[in-house]
Protein backbone atom coordinates (compact mmCIF):
# COMPACT_ATOMS: atom_id res chain seq x y z
CA UNK A 1 0.00 0.00 0.00
CA UNK A 2 1.34 3.43 -0.97
CA UNK A 3 1.93 5.84 1.91
CA UNK A 4 -0.63 8.32 0.54
CA UNK A 5 -3.25 5.55 0.64
CA UNK A 6 -2.41 5.05 4.30
CA UNK A 7 -3.02 8.76 4.92
CA UNK A 8 -6.50 8.46 3.42
CA UNK A 9 -7.24 5.42 5.58
CA UNK A 10 -6.22 7.29 8.74
CA UNK A 11 -3.49 4.83 9.64
CA UNK A 12 0.21 5.35 10.40
CA UNK A 13 2.33 6.47 7.45
CA UNK A 14 5.92 7.53 6.87
CA UNK A 15 6.24 11.27 6.04
CA UNK A 16 9.78 10.54 4.84
CA UNK A 17 8.50 8.31 2.04
CA UNK A 18 10.21 9.48 -1.19
CA UNK A 19 6.92 9.93 -3.06
CA UNK A 20 5.48 12.09 -0.27
CA UNK A 21 8.71 14.08 0.07
CA UNK A 22 8.63 14.80 -3.66
CA UNK A 23 5.00 15.97 -3.49
CA UNK A 24 5.72 18.25 -0.54
CA UNK A 25 8.87 19.72 -2.10
CA UNK A 26 6.96 20.51 -5.29
CA UNK A 27 4.26 22.33 -3.32
CA UNK A 28 6.68 24.12 -0.98
CA UNK A 29 8.58 25.50 -3.97
CA UNK A 30 5.35 26.68 -5.59
CA UNK A 31 4.42 28.45 -2.36
CA UNK A 32 7.73 30.30 -2.50
CA UNK A 33 6.92 31.30 -6.07
CA UNK A 34 3.51 32.59 -5.01
CA UNK A 35 4.94 34.51 -2.10
CA UNK A 36 7.30 36.35 -4.43
CA UNK A 37 4.48 37.71 -6.59
CA UNK A 38 2.89 41.14 -6.32
CA UNK A 39 -0.71 41.39 -5.19
CA UNK A 40 -1.87 42.77 -8.54
CA UNK A 41 -0.32 39.91 -10.54
CA UNK A 42 -3.66 38.16 -10.46
CA UNK A 43 -3.25 35.88 -13.48
CA UNK A 44 0.19 34.73 -12.37
CA UNK A 45 -1.09 34.07 -8.86
CA UNK A 46 -4.09 32.10 -10.12
CA UNK A 47 -1.83 29.97 -12.33
CA UNK A 48 0.40 29.10 -9.39
CA UNK A 49 -2.54 28.35 -7.09
CA UNK A 50 -4.00 25.98 -9.66
CA UNK A 51 -0.76 24.01 -9.44
CA UNK A 52 -0.84 23.98 -5.63
CA UNK A 53 -4.45 23.40 -4.60
CA UNK A 54 -6.34 20.21 -5.41
CA UNK A 55 -9.41 22.17 -6.48
CA UNK A 56 -10.72 25.69 -5.98
CA UNK A 57 -13.69 27.70 -7.15
CA UNK A 58 -14.05 31.16 -8.56
CA UNK A 59 -13.06 34.41 -6.84
CA UNK A 60 -10.44 32.88 -4.56
CA UNK A 61 -8.03 35.45 -3.10
CA UNK A 62 -5.07 34.56 -0.89
CA UNK A 63 -3.30 37.64 0.42
CA UNK A 64 -0.03 35.83 1.01
CA UNK A 65 2.34 34.71 2.19
CA UNK A 66 0.85 31.22 2.06
CA UNK A 67 2.08 27.82 3.20
CA UNK A 68 0.56 24.56 1.99
CA UNK A 69 2.08 21.21 2.88
CA UNK A 70 0.71 19.03 0.09
CA UNK A 71 -1.81 21.42 -1.47
CA UNK A 72 -3.42 18.73 -3.60
CA UNK A 73 -5.26 17.45 -0.53
CA UNK A 74 -7.07 20.81 -0.15
CA UNK A 75 -10.35 21.80 -1.80
CA UNK A 76 -11.56 25.42 -1.60
CA UNK A 77 -14.99 26.62 -2.74
CA UNK A 78 -16.10 29.86 -4.38
CA UNK A 79 -15.57 33.37 -2.99
CA UNK A 80 -12.82 32.52 -0.52
CA UNK A 81 -10.65 35.16 1.15
CA UNK A 82 -7.54 34.22 3.08
CA UNK A 83 -5.64 37.01 4.80
CA UNK A 84 -1.90 37.17 5.56
CA UNK A 85 0.02 34.01 6.55
CA UNK A 86 -2.51 31.30 5.78
CA UNK A 87 -1.05 27.89 6.66
CA UNK A 88 -2.73 24.62 5.66
CA UNK A 89 -0.89 21.45 6.65
CA UNK A 90 -3.01 19.14 4.56
CA UNK A 91 -1.53 15.71 5.07
CA UNK A 92 -5.17 14.55 5.25
CA UNK A 93 -7.99 16.17 3.27
CA UNK A 94 -8.99 19.77 4.00
CA UNK A 95 -12.23 21.13 2.55
CA UNK A 96 -13.40 24.75 2.76
CA UNK A 97 -16.87 25.74 1.55
CA UNK A 98 -18.16 28.77 -0.34
CA UNK A 99 -18.05 32.36 0.93
CA UNK A 100 -15.52 31.76 3.70
CA UNK A 101 -13.20 34.47 5.00
CA UNK A 102 -10.12 33.92 7.16
CA UNK A 103 -8.29 36.60 9.14
CA UNK A 104 -4.48 36.82 9.41
CA UNK A 105 -2.43 33.84 10.62
CA UNK A 106 -5.11 31.17 10.34
CA UNK A 107 -3.62 27.67 10.60
CA UNK A 108 -5.28 24.36 9.71
CA UNK A 109 -3.45 21.18 10.69
CA UNK A 110 -4.28 17.54 10.01
CA UNK A 111 -1.27 15.41 11.12
CA UNK A 112 -1.23 13.73 14.53
CA UNK A 113 1.88 12.37 16.25
CA UNK A 114 2.10 9.64 18.91
CA UNK A 115 1.89 10.93 22.47
CA UNK A 116 4.76 8.81 23.81
CA UNK A 117 8.23 10.18 23.10
CA UNK A 118 9.78 6.84 22.15
CA UNK A 119 7.01 6.20 19.63
CA UNK A 120 7.44 9.69 18.17
CA UNK A 121 11.08 8.88 17.52
CA UNK A 122 10.68 5.51 15.87
CA UNK A 123 8.34 2.60 15.34
CA UNK A 124 8.70 -0.51 13.23
CA UNK A 125 6.90 -0.89 9.91
CA UNK A 126 5.52 -4.23 8.68
CA UNK A 127 9.01 -5.25 7.50
CA UNK A 128 10.64 -4.39 10.82
CA UNK A 129 12.28 -1.18 9.61
CA UNK A 130 12.67 1.67 12.12
CA UNK A 131 10.71 4.65 10.86
CA UNK A 132 9.25 7.93 12.01
CA UNK A 133 5.50 7.45 11.67
CA UNK A 134 2.42 9.61 12.18
CA UNK A 135 -1.21 9.69 11.05
CA UNK A 136 -3.65 12.38 9.95
CA UNK A 137 -7.31 13.35 10.33
CA UNK A 138 -9.27 15.42 7.79
CA UNK A 139 -10.67 18.89 8.47
CA UNK A 140 -13.97 20.06 6.95
CA UNK A 141 -15.23 23.66 7.02
CA UNK A 142 -18.71 24.57 5.78
CA UNK A 143 -20.02 27.52 3.81
CA UNK A 144 -20.17 31.15 4.97
CA UNK A 145 -17.66 30.83 7.80
CA UNK A 146 -15.59 33.68 9.20
CA UNK A 147 -12.42 32.99 11.21
CA UNK A 148 -10.77 35.76 13.19
CA UNK A 149 -7.01 36.29 13.36
CA UNK A 150 -4.77 33.51 14.72
CA UNK A 151 -7.39 30.75 14.66
CA UNK A 152 -5.95 27.22 14.77
CA UNK A 153 -8.08 24.31 13.57
CA UNK A 154 -6.84 20.95 14.85
CA UNK A 155 -6.95 17.52 13.16
CA UNK A 156 -10.30 15.80 12.68
CA UNK A 157 -12.47 18.91 13.23
CA UNK A 158 -15.64 19.67 11.28
CA UNK A 159 -17.04 23.22 11.41
CA UNK A 160 -20.59 23.70 10.16
CA UNK A 161 -22.07 26.39 7.93
CA UNK A 162 -22.32 30.07 8.87
CA UNK A 163 -19.99 29.89 11.87
CA UNK A 164 -17.90 32.69 13.36
CA UNK A 165 -14.73 31.58 15.15
CA UNK A 166 -13.25 34.25 17.42
CA UNK A 167 -9.67 35.45 17.15
CA UNK A 168 -7.04 33.32 18.84
CA UNK A 169 -9.28 30.26 19.13
CA UNK A 170 -7.88 26.73 19.09
CA UNK A 171 -10.60 24.51 17.64
CA UNK A 172 -10.21 20.96 18.96
CA UNK A 173 -13.81 19.71 18.58
CA UNK A 174 -16.59 19.97 16.01
CA UNK A 175 -18.57 23.21 15.89
CA UNK A 176 -22.25 23.04 14.79
CA UNK A 177 -23.65 25.33 12.12
CA UNK A 178 -24.71 28.89 12.96
CA UNK A 179 -22.44 29.10 15.98
CA UNK A 180 -20.32 31.85 17.43
CA UNK A 181 -17.46 29.99 19.07
CA UNK A 182 -14.24 31.17 20.69
CA UNK A 183 -11.55 30.31 23.21
CA UNK A 184 -8.75 27.86 23.88
CA UNK A 185 -10.05 25.26 23.66
CA UNK A 186 -12.74 26.71 21.40
CA UNK A 187 -16.32 26.31 22.63
CA UNK A 188 -19.69 27.45 21.40
CA UNK A 189 -20.63 30.77 23.01
CA UNK A 190 -24.09 30.98 21.46
CA UNK A 191 -26.13 30.38 18.33
CA UNK A 192 -26.22 33.16 15.75
CA UNK A 193 -29.69 34.36 14.72
CA UNK A 194 -31.61 37.29 13.24
CA UNK A 195 -30.97 39.39 16.33
CA UNK A 196 -27.32 39.63 15.25
CA UNK A 197 -28.28 41.59 12.14
CA UNK A 198 -26.51 44.88 11.49
CA UNK A 199 -29.91 46.54 11.23
CA UNK A 200 -29.99 46.51 15.03
CA UNK A 201 -26.75 48.51 15.08
CA UNK A 202 -27.84 51.70 13.29
CA UNK A 203 -24.90 53.64 14.66
CA UNK A 204 -22.62 51.31 12.69
CA UNK A 205 -24.92 50.66 9.74
CA UNK A 206 -25.06 54.43 9.06
CA UNK A 207 -26.58 55.11 5.64
CA UNK A 208 -26.02 51.55 4.36
CA UNK A 209 -28.79 48.98 3.96
CA UNK A 210 -29.32 45.30 4.72
CA UNK A 211 -30.25 43.02 1.83
CA UNK A 212 -33.14 40.84 2.99
CA UNK A 213 -33.24 37.22 1.86
CA UNK A 214 -36.47 37.97 -0.02
CA UNK A 215 -34.58 40.46 -2.13
CA UNK A 216 -35.83 43.60 -0.43
CA UNK A 217 -33.88 46.02 1.70
CA UNK A 218 -34.42 47.69 5.05
Residues with a catalytic annotation lie at: 113
Collapsing DSSP to helix, strand or coil, 124 comes out as strand
Tally of CA atoms within 13 A in the half-sphere of 88 that contains its CB = 31
Strand 179-182 and strand 187-191: the pairing is antiparallel
Residues 6+ apart with CB under 8 A from 61: 80, 81, 82
d(CA 21, CA 24): 5
d(CA 25, CA 128): 27
Best CA proximity match to 50, nearest among 68, 85, 87: 68
Amino acid sequence: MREEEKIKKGILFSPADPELVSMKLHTHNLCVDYNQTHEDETEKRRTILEKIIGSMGEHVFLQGPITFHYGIHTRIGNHFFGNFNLTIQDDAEVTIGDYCSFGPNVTIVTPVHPLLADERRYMLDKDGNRKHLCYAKPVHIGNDCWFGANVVVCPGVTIGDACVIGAGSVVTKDIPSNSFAAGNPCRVIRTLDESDSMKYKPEILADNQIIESSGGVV
